[in-house]
Amino acid sequence: PFQIVPFCGHIKGGMRPGKKILVMGIVDLNPESFGISLTCGESEDPPADVAIELKAVFTDRQFVRNSCVAGEWGEEQSSIPYFPFIPDQPFRVEILCEHPRFRVFVDGHQLFDFYHRIETLSAIDTIKINGDLQLTKLG
């Protein structure tokens, strides 16, 4: 029962402190990258604000995150203790929303924090997933 990628789904009621987004999937055999974004609506033109975009880049083993507010991308963050994704292997990403930040876990290990750049958490109501993966579960 794989979800089709690219995937775009609605987050009921938007984000709020204590709310968690779960993304489970399997990395493709020869991946280049995949991305998970939490956005304020689905608009493409003008582009919806991106509260957090997580991008796993396999070529340089980076897991970068950024946000886009009013069409402007912010400062990219890329420091991680290790690169958690393995080709052809399952993974579990959890994005926990706290009052000042998102806290991101992969396979149960906290990997990094990302401080909110969009203040209105309830406006963050869409999840978009694309790239070299199969989605097995969203929650």
pLDDT in tens, 57-98: 999 999 999 999 999 999 999 999 999 999 999 999 999 999
**Confidence category of residue 1, pLDDT binned at 50, 70, 90:** low
pLDDT score, position 44 = 85
pLDDT score, position 3 = 80
- Please state, in angstroms and as integers, the Cα–Cα distance from residue 139 to each residue in 28, 57, 70, 107, following that order: 21, 24, 28, 15
Residue 84, token pair as written in the block: 């958690």
pLDDT higher than 70, residue 133: yes
**Confidence category of residue 13, pLDDT binned at 50, 70, 90:** very high
Class of the CATH-defined domain 7-138: mainly beta
Average pLDDT of the residues in 38-45: 93
pLDDT score, position 12 = 94
Average pLDDT in the chain: 96
Instruction: Single out the residue of 33, 22, 15, 59 nearest to residue 138, CA to CA.
Output: 22
Instruction: Single out the residue of 41, 42, 23, 45 nearest to residue 102, CA to CA.
Output: 23
Helix (H, G, I), strand (E, B) or coil at 52: strand
What's the pTM? 0.95
Domain borders along the chain are: 7-138
pLDDT higher than 90, residue 45: no
Residue 75, token pair as written in the block: 């400062």
